[in-house]
């Protein structure tokens, strides 16, 4: 399938302010780009596209004092098939894990493993290893957490999400990641475009989406505790320990986010115009 993806940001700054934005597809999808990446700033000004050590691609610019806009668009090809499901994927013993996966067993800003360690070890059947155990975690989180935009908090950790019983996609991911780490399964946070591709449109506005990857056997696999079904049309932007590593927007000074629009539009092969517009303007 072909997807038109992008975003629109409207900002207001009292003074010239540096920004970083994570909106470009991850370099692992470079071969899937079906059109140019277009970045527009209004008022027009220079920007840089930079990659960090994990390959995540950041736009960097200085917004002027007053109102300004940042736009990004591109087209990407994604498989019609849904996320890979491999129930036989085994759990890798801790002593055999690749050295670069160990950091994804550690606590991080939003993944407070110490607070949930006892719960994890007493709640889950540890005889069910590998894929089955990770799916048990996703089922458990999905059944206990209600999706609710009103439950958003900037400082919300995994244990806060469990206490509240509500959150948004990043909170579902943080809770599942934390439980995986408690049980010695490396897990990392993913952010990207998803929208309602391949499923009926829901009431919640389209936003940047969050899911996670768990390391099983000798590779990483996608899991999604919020939707808890295999999905098609994921477009990865970035990976990190949690949302603190990969915010879609980071400022280095005071600012007001006036509006945010995230776009995922399914395109027909014969017609480049959108088949359906999975986007919404969020007034902040």
**DSSP for residue 162:** H
- Kindly tell me if the per-residue pLDDT of 174 is higher than 60: yes
Q: What is the tally of structural domains in the chain?
A: 2
Instruction: Enter the pTM of the model.
Output: 0.92
CB 46 within 8 A of CB 39: no
Q: Are residues 279 and 252 in the same domain?
A: yes
Q: Locate tokens 């579902």: which residue?
A: 172
pLDDT digits (tens, 9 = 90+) for 109-161: 999 999 999 999 999 999 999 999 999 999 999 999 999 999 999 999 999 99
Residue 6 inside a domain? The answer is yes
- Kindly tell me if the per-residue pLDDT of 265 is higher than 70: yes
pLDDT digits (tens, 9 = 90+) for 53-104: 999 999 999 999 999 999 999 999 999 999 999 999 999 999 999 999 999 9
Residue 85 inside a domain? The answer is no
First and final C-alpha spacing in the chain: 32
Instruction: Quote the pLDDT of residue 270.
Output: 57
* Residues spanned by the domain of 257: 2-77+247-283
Angstrom CA distances, 201 to 26, 42, 76, 196, 206, stand at: 25, 31, 21, 6, 10
Q: Are residues 102 and 194 in the same domain?
A: yes
Q: Are residues 103 and 236 in the same domain?
A: yes
């Amino acid at each position: 399938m072909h997807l038109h993806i992008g975003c629109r940001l409207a900002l207001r700054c009292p003074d010239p302010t540096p920004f970083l934005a994570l909106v470009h597809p991850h370099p692992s999808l470079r071969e899937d780009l079906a059109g140019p990446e277009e970045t527009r700033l209004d008022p027009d000004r220079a920007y840089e596209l930079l990659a960090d050590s994990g390959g995540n691609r950041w736009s960097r610019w200085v917004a002027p004092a007053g109102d300004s806009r940042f736009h990004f668009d591109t087209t990407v090809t994604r498989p019609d098939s849904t996320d890979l499901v491999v129930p036989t994927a085994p759990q890798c013993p801790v002593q055999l894990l690749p050295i670069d996966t160990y950091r994804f067993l550690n606590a991080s800003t939003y993944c407070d493993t110490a607070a949930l360690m006892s719960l994890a070890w007493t709640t889950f059947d540890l005889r069910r290893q590998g894929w089955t155990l990770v799916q048990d975690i996703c089922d458990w989180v999905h059944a206990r957490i209600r999706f609710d935009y009103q439950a958003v908090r900037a400082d919300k950790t995994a244990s806060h999400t469990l206490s509240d019983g509500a959150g948004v996609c990043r909170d579902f991911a943080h809770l599942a990641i934390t439980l995986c780490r408690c049980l010695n399964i490396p897990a990392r946070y993913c952010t990207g475009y998803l929208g309602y591709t391949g499923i009926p449109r829901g009431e919640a506005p389209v936003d940047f989406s969050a899911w996670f990857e768990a390391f099983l056997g000798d590779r990483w696999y996608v899991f999604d505790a919020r939707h808890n079904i295999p999905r098609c049309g994921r477009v990865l932007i970035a990976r990190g320990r949690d949302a603190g590593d990969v915010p879609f927007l980071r400022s280095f000074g005071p600012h007001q986010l006036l509006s945010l629009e995230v776009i995922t539009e399914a395109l027909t092969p014969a017609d480049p115009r959108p088949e359906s517009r999975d986007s919404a303007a969020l007034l902040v």
